[in-house]
Chain A
Amino acid sequence: MTPEENEGALDKEPIPIAEGLVALPSSPIEKPYLIGSKCCSCGETFFPSRMCCRRCSSEDMEKIPLSRVGKLFSFTTVRVKPPHFIGEVPYLVGVVELPEGERIKTLLTGCDQSELEIGMKMELVVERVGKLKAPIGNIDAGTEVSGWKFRPLREG
């Protein structure tokens, strides 16, 4: 790769790893959110969105924006590279419980493991994760992709 081409690659914005998972801001004052679904029958909320309710099997589901802030339910640093992981080890991963009740499996960012505590407030960001090693859906191998992550909420 020539320096010019390399520069071009760096400038390129990563694209979301799959459609329908995150809504990206359309202006600088907006913030990204996760797209979930809510069961119109029992009210349970899910991420990613689903065709049928896992709780009551209703097919009456509506897409909703999920809360951007939740509480850290658990976390760890993974030190062995999972087979299809496109990032580098070690990396921080966690589960964030949203006010809606759903628990989101997520990468963690913007912090060190020593700063993390179960129960602390975390907020959603969308960041680059890496380059796809194999095609997923209709996104080709080699594409720079972004995904949802959570970071400690800095109040104020």
Chain B
Amino acid sequence: MMMRSVVILGVGMTDFGRFPERPVAKVGAEAVLAALKDAGVRWKEIPAVYCAHAMGRSVDGQLVEAELGHTGIPIVNVSNACAGGGTAALIAYQAVAVGLYDLVLAMGVDQAPRGPLGGLFPPTVEGALGIDTWLAKYAMKIQRAIHERRYTLDQIAMASVKNHNNACLNPRSQYKIHMSGVEDVHRSRVVADPMTLYHCCPTGDGAAAAIFCTEEIARRHTTPPFIKFAGGALTSQTFIRGDLADTREVTVRAAKKAYEISGIGPKDLDVIELHDNFAVSELEHIVDLGLCHEEEVGHLMEEGVFNIAGSIPVNVSGGLLGKGHPTAATGVAQLCEIVWQLREQAGQRQVEHPKTGLSHSCGGDEGMATYVNIVMK
């Protein structure tokens, strides 16, 4: 199939944090208005919306439309848990690429309750027994990683230190906690041995939006070089024995396919926003995305290779750990960061002259939904 080139014309997001007093429609509308302003497009011109949300009602997209003014357009609400935002962005891109629309808006919006996720879902046998919790699964992942001598606890904690410090440079971040070293992570409250609170991303509220269009429309609003959505892929889990929230194999396959479609490989990437729901995930996913080998990732983390000034900058926005993780908003917020980086508008966290970027997240539990989306200038 002939795929059209797709431009990311504008992006916008709210601050990430906690604002339970604000209706979800207003949170979403704030991000949409910011993206519209950035693109130089009016709400009335948007012919279709893909809206991701993991919490809330099943028509959150329509609630946002009601807030912005009824235009009667088709709105598709997208689920896929933490991968919802990336999924909405990917299908919005595909809709323009195949010629379904010339202009679309993708967004993600969520408001999450405090504490570990899961309280919103009906009780299950495994939930009642306490054997199906993310804290336990990721703590056990760490135990395995240390047992297999893949990473040290210090190397894992370093991902948290880096991302929290990056978040201090991002005005949109939920947390601005400066960390002086891994001791700050080790000293925080133990939630599931040996994992402490600062290994875990927060839940929270927020929204992000992005506007995609054809090159023809982009030329009416701006001048080249355009920032383009170069391609992406969505995967679910294949069979793996047991279940420790295996986000690795799904990531490997999504990345491989996204690299194939976009023609951009792991060595070509200048800025990476990946799924650091827990600190240990960052090391695993750096490897799974093909950015380096398993046996070197810990040492490269120690050497600062994944820092803003390093050769492979990872989660420069602060990631899920520092910037925050309003579930379905994350995938679209990652795109915002990459667009700002490629435009060189990222202020103190600006990477040196990036030309390409990648975003990645995994959503759900068994049968994990995972996307990899690639952007280029």
Q: Which of A's residues lie within 8 Å of B, judged by CB?
A: 17-18, 21, 44, 54-55, 73-80, 82-87, 91, 93-95, 97, 101-103, 105-107, 113, 118, 129-130, 132-134, 136-137, 145, 147
Q: In the complex, A73→B136 CA distance in Å?
A: 13
Of B118, B123, B128, B141, the residue contacting A129 (CB under 8 A) is: B128
24 contacts between A and B (CB under 8 A): A44-B239, A55-B239, A73-B140, A73-B242, A74-B147, A78-B135, A78-B136, A80-B115, A82-B133, A83-B127, A84-B118, A85-B129, A87-B129, A94-B140, A95-B242, A95-B244, A103-B243, A105-B131, A113-B193, A118-B144, A133-B128, A136-B123, A136-B124, A136-B125
Are the C-beta atoms of A78 and B130 separated by less than 8 Å?
yes
Encode B179-192 as 1/0 by CB contact (under 8 A) with A: 00000000001111
Residues of B contacting A18 with CB < 8 Å? 125
Pairs of residues from A and B, 7 with the lowest C-beta to C-beta distance, nearest first: A103-B242, A83-B119, A74-B140, A76-B139, A85-B130, A84-B127, A84-B123
Chain B: CB-nearest residue to A80? B191
Interfacial residues of chain B within 105-150, with CB under 8 A of chain A in the complex: 115-116, 118-119, 122-133, 135-136, 139-141, 143-144, 147
Residues of B contacting A54 with CB < 8 Å? 239
Q: In the complex, A118→B194 CA distance in Å?
A: 14
Report A51 CB to chain B, min CB distance, Å.
15
Q: Is B195 an interface residue (CB 8 A)?
A: yes
> Which residue of A74, A80, A82, A107 has the most chain B CB atoms within 10 A of its CB atom?
A82
Of B115, B126, B139, B143, the residue contacting A118 (CB under 8 A) is: B143
Residues of A contacting B126 with CB < 8 Å? 105
Residues of B contacting A137 with CB < 8 Å? 125
Chain B: CB-nearest residue to A141? B123
Interfacial residues of chain B within 236-270, with CB under 8 A of chain A in the complex: 239, 241-244
Q: In the complex, A54→B118 CA distance in Å?
A: 24
Are the C-beta atoms of A101 and B128 separated by less than 8 Å?
no
Q: In the complex, A113→B141 CA distance in Å?
A: 16
- Give the interface size class of chain B: 35 or more
Report A131 CB to chain B, min CB distance, Å.
10
Are the C-beta atoms of A73 and B144 separated by less than 8 Å?
yes
Report B186 CB to chain A, min CB distance, Å.
15
Chain A: CB-nearest residue to B133? A82
Are the C-beta atoms of A105 and B144 separated by less than 8 Å?
no
Of A17, A44, A77, A83, the residue contacting B192 (CB under 8 A) is: A77
Chain B: CB-nearest residue to A76? B139
Report B118 CB to chain A, min CB distance, Å.
5
Are the C-beta atoms of B192 and A78 separated by less than 8 Å?
yes
Known pairs A75-B140, A118-B144 / 8 extra A-B pairs, C-beta < 8 Å: A74-B147, A76-B192, A82-B127, A83-B119, A85-B129, A95-B242, A95-B244, A136-B123
Of B192, B239, B241, B242, the residue contacting A80 (CB under 8 A) is: B192
Residues of A contacting B143 with CB < 8 Å? 74-76, 118
Report B128 CB to chain A, min CB distance, Å.
5
> Which residue of B124, B125, B132, B135 has the most chain A CB atoms within 10 A of its CB atom?
B125
Q: In the complex, A106→B244 CA distance in Å?
A: 12
Chain A: CB-nearest residue to B143? A74
Q: In the complex, A128→B192 CA distance in Å?
A: 22
Q: In the complex, A7→B132 CA distance in Å?
A: 33
Residues of A contacting B139 with CB < 8 Å? 76, 78
Chain A: CB-nearest residue to B130? A85
Are the C-beta atoms of B128 and A85 separated by less than 8 Å?
yes
Chain B: CB-nearest residue to A117? B147
Are the C-beta atoms of A93 and B131 separated by less than 8 Å?
yes
Q: In the complex, A147→B132 CA distance in Å?
A: 14
Residues of B contacting A133 with CB < 8 Å? 123, 128
Of A21, A86, A93, the residue contacting B128 (CB under 8 A) is: A86
Q: In the complex, A25→B58 CA distance in Å?
A: 46
Q: In the complex, A93→B192 CA distance in Å?
A: 10
